[in-house]
């Protein structure tokens, strides 16, 4: 497959990823902002706890989509650089027996950056994800926070990593009791309108990074 075909394929995975993010925004608006139930023959908006859980689920799904997009982005970049097939690219990045089937950590920008540096060089687009022009470390940091929030949703772990996220996201220490990812995503920063809290900011960050990849890979 030549570079033009790879470019077309990359445009395809980018388009699907952006469509998924936009779908997440639509569902947030419909379910979190305006969702309700008529189980008792009387329309009631969803309880705040239900809204938060829906937002958490939607965010987790977007984080999963990012992992898949990051994996596909790197493997396509490797195919373009090495001039190899999709199957061979899987084994270059993965291992000689199972390819990418057990290779994890795609959502972690530190791991993604390191893999790109190893296979494509320290000046490759993904390897420089922590220094995107005009954004510096900001987009990278937000990818890291998103990955850690995703992991907190999936697994209850030690408090320190999560407290580190709360520190980074500016949550006052006296407001952290019982503050899980769902509430963090929907209620903070409290100084921002509801459509610009961490849920929306981190979803937008995925989009910004994806657009940078599209224009620079």
pLDDT of residue 201: 96
Instruction: Return the bridge partners of 37, or none.
Output: 44
- Per residue in 96-105, pLDDT (tens digit) is 444 455 556 7
| Sequential DSSP letters for 155-214 | ----HHHHHHHHHHTT--GGG-TT--HHHHHHH-STTS-GGGSHHHHHHHHHHHHHHHHH
Angle ∠(131,134,138) on CA atoms, nearest 5: 55
Under-50 pLDDT residues of the chain: 96-99
Quickly count: other Cβ atoms within 10 Å of residue 93's Cβ.
18
pLDDT of residue 126: 92
pLDDT of residue 144: 94
Tell me the two tokens of residue 203: 């979803």
Give the whole-angstrom CA distance, residue 74 versus residue 79: 9
Please tell me the pTM assigned to this model: 0.90
| Sequential DSSP letters for 64-132 | HHHHHHHHHHHHHHHHHHHT--HHHHHHHHSBTTTBTTT---TT-HHHHHHHHHHHH-TTSTGGGGGGB
pLDDT of residue 6: 75
């Amino acid at each position: 497959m030549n570079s033009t075909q790879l470019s077309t394929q990359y445009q395809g995975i980018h388009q699907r990823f952006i469509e998924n993010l936009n779908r997440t925004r639509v569902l947030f608006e419909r379910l979190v902002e305006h969702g309700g139930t008529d189980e008792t023959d009387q329309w009631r908006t969803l309880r705040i706890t239900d809204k938060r859980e829906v937002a958490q689920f939607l965010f987790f799904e977007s984080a999963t989509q990012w992992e898949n997009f990051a994996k596909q982005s790197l493997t396509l970049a490797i195919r373009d650089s090495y001039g190899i097939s999709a199957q061979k690219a899987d084994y270059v990045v993965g291992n000689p027996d199972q390819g990418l089937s057990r290779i994890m950590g795609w959502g972690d920008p530190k791991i993604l950056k390191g893999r790109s540096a190893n296979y494509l060089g320290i000046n490759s687009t993904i390897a420089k994800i922590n220094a995107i022009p005009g954004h510096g470390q900001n987009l990278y940091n937000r990818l890291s926070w998103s990955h850690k929030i995703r992991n907190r949703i999936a697994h209850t772990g030690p408090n320190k990593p999560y407290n580190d996220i709360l520190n980074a996201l500016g949550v006052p220490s006296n407001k952290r009791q019982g503050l899980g990812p769902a509430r963090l995503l929907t209620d903070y920063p409290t100084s921002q309108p509801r459509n610009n809290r961490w849920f929306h900011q981190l979803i937008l960050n995925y989009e910004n990074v994806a657009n940078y990849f599209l224009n620079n890979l």
